Amino acid sequence: MNGRAGERVFQFLCWLSAAALIGAVLMILGYLVLKGAGSLTPELLFGDTDPLKALTGRAQVFDGILPAMAGTVALVVLSVGFALPVGIAAGIYFAVYAPPRVKGVLALLVDILASVPSIVIGLFGLALVIFLHKHLSPAIQPSLLISSIALACLVLPYIIRTTEVSIDSIEPELKLAGQAFGASKLQNTFYILIPRALSGIISGSILAIGRAAEDTAVIMLTGVVASVGMPGALTGKYEAVPFFIYYISAQYANQRELAQGYGAALVLLMICLGLFGLAFLIKRRLESRFFYRG
């Protein structure tokens, strides 16, 4: 009987842990939805500016988060654009080509990059600016381009890792089948391994997009500012949604700004969870399609 009671206590504690965790998160998300839902109007984006004029660039948006949204989109496109080709190529190298010894060293470095705190990567970006400023051209300042490069360093290890794992987890039979038919290593990689690993690579890349969109620490050292308008040039300063949220939490001047902060936080949350869901669905759907076909 003693054992039974022990088991019941154990079960209870397990459920209690899960309930506490989920309850805490739901409370946070629920609070945000409660406070932020009212702000989800076109006004959140455009402020007092006419949406049509704002979108066509004929009017500046001063009290909406459109410039911050545009900044975040630019940031994500640039950084993931930099990191994707390099990351996928490196991942393929690790999974298919790398001799064990080479892989040991290089993969260790990539692992370290993956675990270096994002603020340190931001600091690296800042150091890069200072270095280039001194030795290349005094015109170089923290900017959209520098932020994108630093952010690319942040998401690069995610992309490498998901590519590598997606290829690694292909069934050994399939990995060998192409070569058995006389395909070269390159043909085998591009006609068999990559198509088979595509769902994993795509969903990993979408997660990288989410990571780039939500990161605040990297960009706050490399060029983001609270108010500058739409991102104009690669070498200019810009706004971004996560930084706007941070800024409002520390320096909101009135209730209207605070409401905007809630709205922006809710928008960022929806974007990130949306991307997360998309990554999940793609992985699942492509997998099941392959499954049925094979």
Partner 1 sequence: MQPRSEQAAERILLVCAVLSSLITAAILVFMLIMGLPLLAGGRIFTLAISAWEPGRELFGIYPMLLGTLAVAPLALIIALPVSLGTAALIGVAQPRGAVLFVRRFVQLMTGIPTVVYGFVGVFLLVPLIRGMAGRGTGMCVLTAALLLALLVAPTMILFFGEAFQSVPRAYLLAVDAIGADRWQKFCHVILPNAWRGVLGGIVMATGRAFGDTMIALMVAGNAARVPQSVYDPVRTLTSHIALIKAADYNSLEFKSIFACGLALYLVASVLVVLIRRIGRHEAAR
Which residues inside 259-278 make contact with partner 1, applying CB under 8 A?
261-262, 265, 268-269, 272-273, 275-276
Contact pick of 87, 142, 223, 263 for partner 1 (by CB under 8 A)? 87
CA 186 from centre of chain: 30
Give the shortest CB-252-to-partner 1 separation in angstroms.
10
Which residue, 7 or 171, is less far from partner 1 as judged by CB? 7
Q: For residue 127, how many other CB atoms are within 10 A of its CB? A: 11
How far is residue 202 from each of residues 53, 90, 96, 208, measured CA to CA in Å?
36, 15, 18, 10
Which residue, 56 or 115, is less far from partner 1 as judged by CB? 115
First to last CA, the chain: 51
Interface with partner 1: number of residues (CB under 8 A): 89
Whose tokens are 């769902």? That residue is: 199
Q: Binding of partner 1 at residue 90 (CB under 8 A)? A: yes
Spatial CA neighbour of 80 closest among 238, 207, 262, 237: 207
Cα distance between residue 154 and residue 165, in whole Å: 18
Positions 126 through 165 that interact with partner 1 (CB under 8 A): 127-128, 130-131, 153, 156-157, 160
Whose tokens are 């209690």? That residue is: 16
Which residue, 32 or 55, is less far from partner 1 as judged by CB? 32
Positions 24 through 43 that interact with partner 1 (CB under 8 A): 24-25, 27-29, 31-32, 35
